[in-house]
Structure 1
Amino acid sequence: MIRDSLRLRLLAAAAVAIFAALVLAGTGMSWFFERHIEQREADALIRDGKLIAGGLRVDAAGRPVADAQPGDDRYGEAGSGLYWQLTTSKGSAHSDSLWDQNLPLQPGSDREDWRARHLPGPFGKSLLMVERRILPEQAAEPVLVQLATDDGPLHAARREFNRETALSLGLLWLFLLIAAYVQVTLGLRPLTTVRRQIATLRGNPAARLPGGHPREIAPLAEAINALAQAREADLGRARKRAGDLAHSLKTPLAALAALAAQNRRAREAGAVEAADGQDRALAAMRAALETELARSRAAAARDAGHSLAADIETQIENIIAVIERTELGERLIFDVHMPDELHVPVASEDLTELLGALIENAARHARVRVRVRGGMAEEESQLWIEDDGPGLGRESSEAVMARGSRLDEAGPGHGLGLAIVSDLMQATDGTIALGRSELGGLEVRLAWLVERSPAAPRKSAFLRWMTRHR
């Protein structure tokens, strides 16, 4: 899972790096704390040792005598954990706290400066001891001055410090992880912006990623724009080839029309069977040419762009204006409703071709009314074209969609070749469904899954009203 997420990779790396840094910091702080408290205890022992050294003398037998002793009462309590001892080759003297015990003599005790070290001591305890050899006046040999304290409290203080430090560093680790999450989120936010912009670019080949990206993302945005420019050029060439194909088919279609006229004359002359056979061959040729043209047109329409509600409504009004001028449309009432948030992933010219075929078919079979409406359902854009004509039964609708050929093959009227409509819907990842309208006739439902993008400027309600009633 971490391999599939850049965010998790960065957070995992930050967690490990912060944890390692805090462990090193905790170890260093523990070492410095232990050194600090040991040095503080050693300094306290050295101060007491200097006080003893100030009153140090040797008696006639050569044994050391301490005329001045520290004022700490623990030196007088047996096993209190605070001791002093004076040693020469003739004998020794020690604090009452040592009772019948002695401080150990270790190699290296002949130093003439204070030295601190840890070693096992009396009463089964470990000691922190400072020692130094001092030569009193009129003494034949130096006296070894030793002072010691139990280091158990030192270790206890260190453990307490380590426990509190570990808790503090753990809380700091969590806080830094939260800070790292915020940092990673803010750092990756430009990529989220690029993703949204790419969604817009995917629906409109003429769109480009805007500038203003961070320096690290700018090369990626430039590469995406270059790819989009190449795709737009390829799409333009495909559309041009589709147009050229349509133009080149005009002559063969004219020839087919001339052959059809010859068929009529042959039928009038009595050669009905031959004329019917020729008509079937011509119809098959025309169907093949129209199918290939529809496929070429639909292939060029893939990812051709977006149409917004105002544009869709304008296209529908233009189609209706043309139909109303015909004898077929004079008697009909057209009802159009497009919500402002509607947008479909189909270019304007392709949507005009698609809606024109469907609205013309509805007008051909409607009695009084044709309704065109749109809507958004979560992330789906929908268009409905309905009429109040005879409609199609359920079995007829299923048969038409199963064959995917012509509506007029499944029932009377509704002559609409589905080649262009179905190919355009398939090319734009849309779906088409036939059903019974609330008006009583046929309902054609078109639907596309779309990803919402920032709304583009739309016409005001007043301008849309003027467009509808001009």
Structure 2
Amino acid sequence: MIRNSLRLRLLVGAAVAIAVALAIAWGAMGWVFDRHIERRVQAELTTQAVPLLAGLSAAGGVPALDEEPADPRFGVPASGLYWQVYATKGQLRSRSLWDSRLPAAMNPPTDDWGARQAAGPFGQQLLLVERKVRLEPGQPHVTIQLAYDLARLAPAQREFGREMALFLVILWVVLAIAAWVQVTLGLRPLASVEGEVRRLRRDASARLAGTYPRELRPLTEAIDALAGAREADVTRARRRAADLAHGLKTPLAALAAQSARAREAGADAAADGLDTAIAAVRGAVDGELARTRIGLVQNEGRATPALPLAERLVQVIEATEAGERIAFSVEGSAEAMLPFAGDDAAELLGPLLENAARHAHRRVVVTVRADAGETLVSVSDDGPGLDAARHGDAVLRGARLDLAGDGHGLGLAIARELAEASGGMLELRPGPLGGLEVRLSWSPQSS
């Protein structure tokens, strides 16, 4: 699913990248917090050393303390807060150390307090601050150490980690929503391109008219170039179809004249053979021209108002021998549009009206409707109708249900193929006048 969706790829990629970045940030901020709190403990130990130094003396190399520090934790064994002083001839330590000692100093500085971590008594990991001082001129140095159990910092570190994790989860949700908005805005021009491409499908002369971001211009220019090449191909195909029709019209007319002469000369069998061959050639030419027209419809798809076209075709058919005896009725909505150019739309409706006029007794009703984007065209007659079992055969190419007529069995088949090529549907059903109803429909998605 992700592989087939650019939007999901971007969103999942952003969500994962944000999660990784926030996880790294969580670890980094935890480390910074640990260093910060250790510095605070180091500063507190240094502060605790000031009153210790103030009451310290070392007569003859023996350290002595006038008053112990006031912090009560120094008096509780294994409390986690310790001090220790030692010189060349003795040492002092807090009661919290009980009978243990702090780790020996390792080259403590004399001008400032040094800090380090070391394993201490009671299995504790200690933060030590230590320093060598000379209490009086000429006296040996005295080493002072203060220590704090780092395990006492663990609850604060865990609490900080939990609160930071909750904050970062909320931040991840906010950033994921921001990424969704960003992706949606970034992909919006592609939706415009999709709409324009659908318009290109309906109209071969259309081009991408919108102003697109610089990153999409190579794509839109390539689509326009492809549309231009397709329009040129459509134009050439139409010209070839027209040239084929005109090129064969004269030879067929000459053959028809030869057939008439042969019949006048009494060669009825030869004339019948010529007429049959001429009809077969005309049927084949009409079929190929229809197939070419259907292919062009799939690529072009311009729109033609249905109601005026139906009225014009009815006027033409009323002037024919079959149409003189029929009362035509054209009704419906002027907004209904057929998804064809004018010639293609006429080639679709013309055979339907001719068939209705040929089989009707007195009436043919043409109804055009446009409702919620759906276009519907129906042609009904009051003729003998058609059995439901034969509806499927009626739209097959070359099928002739009226063998007495002079058609080639292509009318309904061409109409069906034209409708399906434009995304529509042709149905045969019993009509409201008692005869056959031919219904064409196009849904909003196909138009």
TM-score by length of 1: 0.86
Q: What residue in structure 1 maps to residue 312 of structure 2? A: 318
Counterparts in 2 of 1:128-139, with a 5 A limit?
Answer: 128-138=127-137
Are the structure 2 counterparts of residues 305 and 134 from structure 1 closer, same or farther at C-alpha, using a change threshold of 3 Å? Answer: same
Q: What residue in structure 2 maps to residue 280 of structure 1? A: 276
Counterparts in 2 of 1:307-456, with a 5 A limit?
Answer: 307=303, 311-325=305-319, 328-329=323-324, 331-338=326-333, 340=335, 342-374=336-368, 381-402=375-396, 404-409=398-403, 417-418=410-411, 420-425=414-419, 427-428=421-422, 430-448=424-442, 451=445
Could you tell me whether the CA contact under 8 Å between 1:361 and 1:414 is conserved in 2? no
Greater mean deviation of Cα atoms: 359-368 or 181-190: 359-368
Count of residue correspondences: 445
Are the structure 2 counterparts of residues 330 and 307 from structure 1 closer, same or farther at C-alpha, using a change threshold of 3 Å? Answer: farther
Q: What residue in structure 2 maps to residue 168 of structure 1? A: 167
Greater mean deviation of Cα atoms: 222-231 or 444-453: 444-453
Greater mean deviation of Cα atoms: 97-106 or 176-185: 97-106
1:292 Cα deviation from its structure 2 partner: 3.1
Could you tell me whether the CA contact under 8 Å between 1:102 and 1:122 is conserved in 2? yes
Percent of aligned pairs sharing the same letter: 47
Counterparts in 2 of 1:146-161, with a 5 A limit?
Answer: 146-161=145-160
Q: Does 1:21 align with 2:21?
A: yes
Are the structure 2 counterparts of residues 438 and 413 from structure 1 closer, same or farther at C-alpha, using a change threshold of 3 Å? Answer: farther
Matched position secondary structure for 1:216: helix
Q: Does 1:186 align with 2:182?
A: no
Q: What residue in structure 2 maps to residue 108 of structure 1? A: 107
Matched position secondary structure for 1:432: strand
Q: Following the alignment from structure 2 to structure 1, what is the Cα–Cα distance between the partners of residues 154 and 365? A: 89
Counterparts in 2 of 1:265-276, with a 5 A limit?
Answer: 265-266=264-265, 269=266, 271-276=267-272
1:422 Cα deviation from its structure 2 partner: 4.6
In the alignment, structure 2 segments of 5+ residues that lack a partner are none
Q: What residue in structure 1 maps to residue 238 of structure 2? A: 239
Q: Following the alignment from structure 1 to structure 2, what is the Cα–Cα distance between the partners of residues 155 and 277? A: 108
Matched position secondary structure for 1:293: helix
Q: Which amino acid aligns with 2:11?
A: L
1:176 Cα deviation from its structure 2 partner: 1.2
Could you tell me whether the CA contact under 8 Å between 1:362 and 1:387 is conserved in 2? yes
Could you tell me whether the CA contact under 8 Å between 1:303 and 1:428 is conserved in 2? no
Q: Following the alignment from structure 2 to structure 1, what is the Cα–Cα distance between the partners of residues 44 and 417? A: 95
Q: Which amino acid aligns with 2:178?
A: A
Q: Following the alignment from structure 2 to structure 1, what is the Cα–Cα distance between the partners of residues 157 and 438? A: 81
Q: What residue in structure 2 maps to residue 465 of structure 1? A: none
Could you tell me whether the CA contact under 8 Å between 1:302 and 1:427 is conserved in 2? yes
Matched position secondary structure for 1:257: helix
Q: What residue in structure 1 maps to residue 7 of structure 2? A: 7
Could you tell me whether the CA contact under 8 Å between 2:245 and 2:285 is conserved in 1? no
Q: Following the alignment from structure 2 to structure 1, what is the Cα–Cα distance between the partners of residues 368 and 96? A: 99
Q: What residue in structure 2 maps to residue 42 of structure 1? A: 42
1:144-198 deviations in whole A, cap 9, x for unaligned? Answer: 1111122122122112211221222122122212211221111011101111110
Could you tell me whether the CA contact under 8 Å between 1:306 and 1:343 is conserved in 2? no
Matched position secondary structure for 1:85: strand
Are the structure 2 counterparts of residues 431 and 406 from structure 1 closer, same or farther at C-alpha, using a change threshold of 3 Å? Answer: farther
Q: Following the alignment from structure 1 to structure 2, what is the Cα–Cα distance between the partners of residues 130 and 282? A: 115
Match of 1:304 among 300, 311, 330: 300
1:390 Cα deviation from its structure 2 partner: 1.4
Q: Which amino acid aligns with 1:443?
A: E
Matched position secondary structure for 1:113: coil
Q: What residue in structure 2 maps to residue 206 of structure 1? A: 205
Are the structure 2 counterparts of residues 138 and 274 from structure 1 closer, same or farther at C-alpha, using a change threshold of 3 Å? Answer: closer
Could you tell me whether the CA contact under 8 Å between 2:57 and 2:64 is conserved in 1? yes
Q: Does 1:252 align with 2:245?
A: no
1:204 Cα deviation from its structure 2 partner: 0.9
Q: Which amino acid aligns with 1:318?
A: R
Are the structure 2 counterparts of residues 57 and 434 from structure 1 closer, same or farther at C-alpha, using a change threshold of 3 Å? Answer: same
Q: Which amino acid aligns with 1:366?
A: A
Could you tell me whether the CA contact under 8 Å between 2:397 and 2:409 is conserved in 1? no
Are the structure 2 counterparts of residues 77 and 427 from structure 1 closer, same or farther at C-alpha, using a change threshold of 3 Å? Answer: closer
Q: Following the alignment from structure 2 to structure 1, what is the Cα–Cα distance between the partners of residues 201 and 113? A: 81
Are the structure 2 counterparts of residues 383 and 171 from structure 1 closer, same or farther at C-alpha, using a change threshold of 3 Å? Answer: same
Could you tell me whether the CA contact under 8 Å between 1:306 and 1:347 is conserved in 2? yes
Are the structure 2 counterparts of residues 402 and 282 from structure 1 closer, same or farther at C-alpha, using a change threshold of 3 Å? Answer: closer
Are the structure 2 counterparts of residues 236 and 413 from structure 1 closer, same or farther at C-alpha, using a change threshold of 3 Å? Answer: closer
1:423 Cα deviation from its structure 2 partner: 4.8
Matched position secondary structure for 1:217: helix
Q: Which amino acid aligns with 1:242?
A: A
1:39 Cα deviation from its structure 2 partner: 0.8
Are the structure 2 counterparts of residues 47 and 383 from structure 1 closer, same or farther at C-alpha, using a change threshold of 3 Å? Answer: same
Are the structure 2 counterparts of residues 124 and 301 from structure 1 closer, same or farther at C-alpha, using a change threshold of 3 Å? Answer: closer
Q: Following the alignment from structure 2 to structure 1, what is the Cα–Cα distance between the partners of residues 401 and 100? A: 115
Q: Following the alignment from structure 1 to structure 2, what is the Cα–Cα distance between the partners of residues 292 and 450? A: 30
